[in-house]
Amino acid sequence: MADDTIFSSVENGVGWITLNRPRALNALSLEMIRKMTSLLKSWDIAGSGVKVIVVKGAGERAFCSGGDIKTIAKAKGEQFQKDFIKEEYLLDHLVGSLRVPYITILDGITMGGGVGISVNGRFRVGTEKTVFAMPECGIGLIPDVGAGYFLTKLEGKLGLFLGLTGHRVSGWECLRFGITTHAVKSDMVEQLENEIRELADREGKLDVKEVEQLLDRWTLQEAKENNKGCVSENLKEINTLFAAESLEDIFNNLQNQNTKFSISTKESLMKNSPTSMMLAFKQLKEGKPTHAEALIVEHRLMTRRFQDPDFYEGVRAALIDKDQKPKWNPDSIDKISQKLVEKYFTDLEPEQELII
């Protein structure tokens, strides 16, 4: 079955989904979220004929670059915004709750909403082209789609670093940190897909362990052994710089360290929304023990950030005028009280809360 933005089919026990907006780097629209939700629910029931699900992106550049941010920004104050984040988060939770083995092929850019429909799932197959990032603080939002759960599970202070800076993790390094679970060369993906077909085409139920064993066999030794990149090389310094009780302390650490890496990290942070970083610091510092709890908190934060000017200014600077010079309000973390930060985390009205 096909529509403009998603191709889907069931062949010999495999449910295939292809995100089909390559010009937009397969950014998720509300239509895609609804379509994907419907497909996954229908495939995850007994008798569906689907033994394993594979999700990938069309084109050569991206799995999924995130949500359709420009469209969300254009709908300022409209019900569309509320529907989008609510339905996106419910999809993310569904991905993490499926009975049927779920595989994503991250052969390219995987950011924001693309992380939500992949990292929350059981199996993530990366390639040398994989680029992972959570860049939301740079457009006046917060790292969401369950980041308060999955980023906090990364080693040391890595999750806090990635969530605050939006720094990218690329290629085999994603396997090193568990962002991906398996790794193959990009030009071998088609052969891997054929083996998944053959495995699912056998009679009888397909066990999760069988899928895992197949993916284990395909994972390159090179990806396991030669997987150090920029983040790995600076992880010790990241752990030192981001071992802080406040965002202000992180900035002080960066100022005092005065290394090439600390200087570039500070420059990255200085470009981001101060309010977003203050919220993200508390969100990621505290973390949540379950994916569902993280999504509920992030829904509160995002609902309130959509009411603030920073998001619209961030989108203007990054995606519309592209001057990369957002004027944040407030423009400094010094102007943001802890009391204000706490307000963002309080419960919404009962009818507005995310129910999982």
67 as an active site residue: the answer is yes
Catalytic residue among 13, 57, 66, 67: 67
**Which of 63, 54, 58, 64 has its CA nearest to residue 103?**
54
155 as an active site residue: the answer is no
CB neighbour list of residue 311: distance below 8 Å, 6 or more residues apart:
73, 139, 140, 141, 305
- Tell me how crowded residue 1 is: count the other CB atoms within 10 A of its CB: 9
Catalytic residue among 68, 136, 298, 313: 136
Catalytic residue among 112, 113, 126, 159: 113
Catalytic residue among 144, 173, 298, 310: 144
* Helix, strand, coil in percent for the chain, rounding step 5: 50, 10, 35
Taking CB atoms within 8 Å and a gap of at least 24, the contacts of 7-13 are: 7/58, 8/35, 8/39, 10/43, 10/49, 10/50, 11/197, 12/197, 12/200, 12/201, 13/49, 13/50, 13/51, 13/52, 13/200, 13/201, 13/206
113 as an active site residue: the answer is yes
Q: How many residues does the chain have?
A: 356
Q: How buried is 43 (Cβ within 10 angstroms: 0-12 exposed, 13-18 middle, 19+ buried)?
A: buried
314 as an active site residue: the answer is no
The identity of residue 252, as a single letter, is N
Cα distance between residue 107 and residue 60, in whole Å: 8
Angle of helix 208-218 relative to helix 189-200, nearest 10 degrees?
Answer: 150
What are the residue numbers of the active site? 67, 113, 136, 144
